[in-house]
């Protein structure tokens, strides 16, 4: 009986190393396509005003989700944009959409895309981490030519 009790205590007190509560997300300074619009430091980015969108300045939108429970939702408002080379993002992006873009990523992923801002001005980026219903972070960026 004593050995059964010891066995039960020994195995029931062991904790499994998992990432069930971490949901960690990183925002590197740059991505594959240039300066990362999600990084914590930069607030001024170059826009691409043509004559053909996508022929000039571009940036990255990169996030590294480090947990099987990580979830990320990005909303970009206030500016027209074009998106290319999407890796790891689900999006509502459409060429006919002017504003209110939504991008989502989840689980272990290094999500990145090439993003062109089509106009000068101010854009607001709302970052929702791990099912938050209010933004975890809001970032205002200035777009210049």
CATH of the domain at 124: 2.60.40
Other beta carbons within 10 Å of 68: 13
Is residue 31 domain-resident? yes
- Residue 55 belongs to some domain of the structure: yes
Overall number of domains in the chain: 1
In a domain, 102, yes or no: yes
Q: What is the pLDDT of residues 46-92, one digit of tens each?
A: 887 665 555 567 899 999 999 999 999 999 999 888 888 899 999 88
Query: With bands split at pLDDT 50, 70 and 90, how would you rate the model's confidence at 3?
Result: low
Average pLDDT, the chain: 82
The pLDDT assigned to 140 comes to 97
Omega of the bond leading into 49 within 30 degrees of 0 (cis): no
Domain, as residue range, for 117: 23-144
The pTM assigned to this predicted structure is 0.80
Backbone angles phi, psi at 70, to 5 degrees: -70, 135
Q: pLDDT of 23-50, one tens digit each?
A: 699 999 999 999 999 999 999 998 876 6
Q: What is the pLDDT, as a whole number, of residue 80? A: 84
Residue 107 lies in a domain: yes
Q: For a pLDDT cut of 90, what percent of the chain falls above it?
A: 57
Q: In whole angstroms, what is the distance from residue 22 CA to residue 12 CA?
A: 22
Which residue, chain included where needed, has tokens 């740059």?
A: 30
* Confidence bin at 1 (pLDDT 50/70/90): low
CA–CA distance, 21 with 131 (Å, rounded to integer)? 12
Report the distance separating Cα 101 and Cα 111, nearest Å: 16
User: With 80 as the cut, is the pLDDT of residue 16 above it?
Assistant: no
Output the pLDDT for position 13: 44
Q: Is the pLDDT of residue 121 over 80?
A: yes
Measured CA to CA, the distance from residue 89 to residue 101 in angstroms comes to 12
């Amino acid at each position: 009986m004593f050995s059964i009790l010891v066995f039960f205590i020994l195995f029931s007190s062991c904790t499994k190393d998992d990432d069930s509560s971490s949901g960690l997300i990183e925002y590197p300074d740059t991505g594959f396509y240039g300066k990362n619009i999600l990084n914590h430091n930069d607030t001024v980015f170059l826009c691409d005003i043509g004559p053909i969108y996508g022929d000039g300045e571009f940036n990255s939108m990169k996030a590294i989700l480090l947990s099987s429970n990580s979830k990320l939702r990005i909303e970009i408002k206030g500016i027209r944009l074009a998106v290319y080379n999407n890796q790891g993002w689900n999006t509502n992006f459409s060429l006919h959409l002017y504003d209110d873009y939504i991008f989502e990523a989840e689980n272990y992923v290094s999500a990145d895309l090439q993003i062109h801002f089509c106009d000068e001005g101010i854009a607001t980026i709302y970052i929702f981490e791990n099912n938050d219903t209010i933004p975890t972070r809001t970032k205002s960026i200035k777009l210049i030519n």
